């Protein structure tokens, strides 16, 4: 059972004003500042500084700092969220789609932003040998869509101690943006590590295949194993604000060092099972033949002849190759 993370921050949705109306207002103020410079200057020239000087100062000041409010215009698309902090303090999360206006000095927080920047940075070499760095556009917004995690194969010992190679795929999404951002360092790496750990713990509880005593196995009980994986992984990532939609094993095989031996064992078990069915069928056919001969009074056979007939029939029915009968043209005695 995972331990509860201390100092959790609960999510609160931010109700921000309409950003489109705010942007329109700021543009109008910019136009008014440009237009207001003209009468302010005319008043100064006419010798009326009481009205002209303050107006001129206000217009010039707005033209210098009027671009700052535009930094508070945020556009949120469907299934996106923006976690905002103001001077280090969590102020809220924008989760509704649309255009909003927030404090221009608010900053967006996404711990996976740096990792995305590093992974999407491609270094290309130009014709003259110089390195050209091209960076794909990334955003500090959090995606609320269902995402897929497909980790690499790892070697695990099953319940019987046999090394097997297993990989897992996890369908997950962010359920609590505040916990995902502030409770863990990087929620994407966190769920990846927890998925590997959960897979190792759950896979060790089951044998690879069903033994003679029956029971559950990794190969035969995929639905139950998937439910256990989902429940255990959800318990581990709940404090990070993540929701596990599905967790399922995608690759399952014996490790290369024992794969050949396990294949031989499976082949031997299949051969034995097939032989058992052949023998059961052959014995039934021999019994039926003896009963039909006795019921129809075809001929009278003593115990020695019956034993010879049973032996011949079993050889013919249980042999791997077609029998080559020898016809006796004389008396059977």
Q: Same structural domain for residues 148 and 247?
A: yes
Q: Same structural domain for residues 151 and 244?
A: yes
- End of a domain among 122, 140, 158? 140
Token pair recorded at residue 174: 């962010």
- End of a domain among 109, 132, 157? 109
Q: Same structural domain for residues 250 and 266?
A: no
Q: Same structural domain for residues 250 and 172?
A: yes
Please give the tally of structural domains in the chain.
4
At 244 the pLDDT is 94
Token pair recorded at residue 329: 């043209």
**C-alpha closest to that of 310 among 329, 284, 333, 328:** 284
| Residue 141 DSSP SS3 | coil
How wide is the angle at C-alpha 171 spanned by C-alphas 169 and 176, nearest 5°? Answer: 140
Q: Same structural domain for residues 245 and 268?
A: no
Q: Same structural domain for residues 161 and 250?
A: yes
At 286 the pLDDT is 76
Residue 3 lies in a domain: no
pTM: predicted TM-score of the whole model, two decimal places:
0.68
Residue 326 lies in a domain: no
Q: Same structural domain for residues 73 and 163?
A: no
Report yes or no: 90 and 107 within 8 Å, Cβ to Cβ.
no
| CB within 8 Å of 307: residues ≥ 6 apart | none
- End of a domain among 254, 288, 309? 254
Q: Same structural domain for residues 203 and 229?
A: yes
At 264 the pLDDT is 62
pLDDT tens digits, one per residue of 109-144: 888 776 666 665 554 444 455 444 444 445 788 989
- Strands 107-108 vs 121-125: parallel, antiparallel or unpaired: unpaired
**Domain range holding 302?**
262-318
Q: Where are the alpha helices (DSSP H) in the chain?
A: 19-45, 49-65, 113-119, 177-182, 187-203, 222-237, 256-295, 303-318
Residue 122 lies in a domain: yes
pLDDT tens digits, one per residue of 150-160: 988 888 888 87
Residue 58 lies in a domain: yes
Q: Same structural domain for residues 197 and 149?
A: yes
Q: Same structural domain for residues 46 and 57?
A: yes
| CB within 8 Å of 275: residues ≥ 6 apart | 318
Residue 190 lies in a domain: yes
Report yes or no: 278 and 318 within 8 Å, Cβ to Cβ.
yes
Q: Same structural domain for residues 89 and 121?
A: no
81/112 Cα distance (integer angstroms): 14
| CATH code where residue 228 lies | 3.30.479.30
Residue 327 lies in a domain: no
Residue 130 lies in a domain: yes
Q: Same structural domain for residues 153 and 72?
A: no
Residue 207 lies in a domain: yes
At 235 the pLDDT is 94
At 123 the pLDDT is 46
Per-residue pLDDT band for 293 (boundaries 50, 70, 90) equals: confident
């Amino acid at each position: 059972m995972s331990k509860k993370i201390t100092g959790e921050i609960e999510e609160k949705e931010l109700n921000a004003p309409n950003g489109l109306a705010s942007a329109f207002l700021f543009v109008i103020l910019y136009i008014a500042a440009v237009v207001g410079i003209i009468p302010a200057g005319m008043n100064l020239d006419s010798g009326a500084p009481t009205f002209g000087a303050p107006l001129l100062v206000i217009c010039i000041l707005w033209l210098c700092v009027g671009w700052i409010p535009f930094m508070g215009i945020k556009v949120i698309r469907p299934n996106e969220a923006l976690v905002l902090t103001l001077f280090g303090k969590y102020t809220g999360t924008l989760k509704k789609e649309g255009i909003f206006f927030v404090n221009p000095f608010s900053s967006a927080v996404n711990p996976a932003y740096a990792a995305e920047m590093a992974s999407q940075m491609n270094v290309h070499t130009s014709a003259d040998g110089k390195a050209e760095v091209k960076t794909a556009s990334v955003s500090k917004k959090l995606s609320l869509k269902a995402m897929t995690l497909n980790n690499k194969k790892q070697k695990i010992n099953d319940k019987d101690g046999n090394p097997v190679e297993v990989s897992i795929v996890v369908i997950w999404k962010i359920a609590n943006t505040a916990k995902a951002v502030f409770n863990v360092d990087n929620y994407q790496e966190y769920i990846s590590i927890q998925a590997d750990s959960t897979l190792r713990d759950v896979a060790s509880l089951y044998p690879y295949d069903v033994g003679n005593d029956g029971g559950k196995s990794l190969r035969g009980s995929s639905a139950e194993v998937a439910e256990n994986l989902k429940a255990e992984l959800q318990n581990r990532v709940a404090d990070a604000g993540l929701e596990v939609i599905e967790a399922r094993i995608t690759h399952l095989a014996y490790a290369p060092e024992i794969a050949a031996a396990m294949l031989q064992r499976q082949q031997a078990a299949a051969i034995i099972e097939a032989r058992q069915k052949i023998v059961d069928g052959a014995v039934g056919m021999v019994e039926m033949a003896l009963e039909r001969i006795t019921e129809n009074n075809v001929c009278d056979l003593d115990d020695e002849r019956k034993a010879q007939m049973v032996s011949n029939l079993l050889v013919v029915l249980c042999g791997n190759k077609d029998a080559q009968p020898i016809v006796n043209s004389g008396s059977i005695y």
